[in-house]
Chain A
Amino acid sequence: MKRVALIGMPNTGKSTLFNRLTGSHARVGNWPGVTVDLATARVLVGAHMAELVDLPGLYDLHGFSDDELVARHFLEAARVDAVVVVLNSSQVDRQLALALQVKALGLPTLVLLNMADEAKRFGIEIDTARLANGLGLPVASLSARYGTGVPEALARLAHLLDEAGPPREALVRAALAEDHRREEQIEALVKSSVVVPERLSEHASDRIDRVVLHPWLGLPLFFLAMLAVFQAVFWVGAPLQDGVEAAFDFARRNALVPLVAGLPEMLRGLLVDGIWAGLATVAAFVPLIVVFFFFLAAVEDSGYLSRAAFLTDAFMARLGLDGRAFVMILMGFGCNVPALMGTRVMRDRPMRLLSMLTIPMSLCSARLQVFVFLAAAVFAPAQAPWVLFGLYVASFAAVVVTALAFRGRFASREPFVIELPPYRLPTVRQVWLRGWTEVSHFLKRATRFIFAGVIAVWFLTHFPAGVAPAGPDSMAGWIGTALQPVLGPLGIDEKLAVALIFGFVAKEVVIGAFAVIYGLEGDALAAGLAQSMDWVAATSFMIFTLVYTPCLSTVATLRAESRSAGFTALAVAWPLALAWAASFAFYQGMRALGF
Chain B
Amino acid sequence: MLQIRIALKYADMTQRTPLSHLAPGQQGIIASVEGAEGLRQRLAALGFRAGRAVVVLRRASLRGPLHVRLGTTDVALRPAEAGGVSLRAVGPFAAQGA
Residues on A lying within 8 angstroms of B by beta carbon are 1, 10, 29, 31-36, 40, 51, 59, 63-70, 73-74, 77-78, 94, 196, 202, 209, 213, 215-216, 218, 306, 309-311, 313-315, 317, 323, 413, 415-422
Chain A residues with CB under 8 A of B73: 419
Given contacts A314-B60, A419-B46, are A29 and B14 in contact (CB under 8 A)?
no
A–B complex contacts, Cβ < 8 Å, 16 sampled: A31-B2, A32-B4, A64-B49, A65-B31, A65-B33, A69-B8, A69-B10, A70-B8, A77-B5, A78-B6, A196-B72, A215-B60, A415-B36, A418-B76, A420-B74, A422-B74
Is A35 a contact of B4 with CB atoms below 8 Å?
Answer: no
Total residue contacts A-B, CB cutoff 8 A? 140
Is A310 a contact of B50 with CB atoms below 8 Å?
Answer: no
Given contacts A64-B50, A73-B7, A419-B46, are A311 and B32 in contact (CB under 8 A)?
no
Is A420 a contact of B81 with CB atoms below 8 Å?
Answer: no
Residues on B lying within 8 angstroms of A by beta carbon are 1-14, 30-40, 42-43, 46, 49-51, 57-58, 60-65, 67, 72-78, 80-81, 88
- Specify the chain A residue showing the minimal Cβ separation from B11: A35
- Specify the chain B residue showing the minimal Cβ separation from A1: B1
Q: How far is the CA of A69 from the CA of B49 in the complex (A)?
A: 12
Is A73 a contact of B31 with CB atoms below 8 Å?
Answer: no
Given contacts A35-B8, A59-B40, A66-B13, are A310 and B51 in contact (CB under 8 A)?
no
Q: How far is the CA of A213 from the CA of B67 in the complex (A)?
A: 10
Chain B residues with CB under 8 A of A416: 65, 76-78, 81
Q: How far is the CA of A34 from the CA of B2 in the complex (A)?
A: 12
Q: How far is the CA of A417 from the CA of B34 in the complex (A)?
A: 14
Is A213 a contact of B58 with CB atoms below 8 Å?
Answer: yes
Chain A residues with CB under 8 A of B4: 31-33, 74, 77-78
Q: How far is the CA of A74 from the CA of B6 in the complex (A)?
A: 6
Is B67 a contact of A420 with CB atoms below 8 Å?
Answer: yes
Is A417 a contact of B10 with CB atoms below 8 Å?
Answer: no
- Specify the chain A residue showing the minimal Cβ separation from B5: A33
- Specify the chain B residue showing the minimal Cβ separation from A216: B61
Taking the closest CB of chain A, its distance from the CB of B66, in whole angstroms, is: 9
- Specify the chain B residue showing the minimal Cβ separation from A316: B64
Is A66 a contact of B60 with CB atoms below 8 Å?
Answer: no
- Specify the chain A residue showing the minimal Cβ separation from B4: A78
- Specify the chain B residue showing the minimal Cβ separation from A416: B78
Chain A residues with CB under 8 A of B57: 209
Q: How far is the CA of A416 from the CA of B66 in the complex (A)?
A: 10
Q: A313-B78, A417-B76 are in contact. List 15 more A-B contacts (CB 8 A).
A: A40-B2, A65-B31, A66-B88, A215-B58, A216-B61, A309-B76, A310-B67, A311-B60, A314-B61, A314-B64, A314-B65, A315-B62, A417-B75, A421-B74, A422-B74
Is A314 a contact of B62 with CB atoms below 8 Å?
Answer: yes
Q: Which of A33, A65, A77, A196 contacts B32 (CB 8 A)?
A: A65
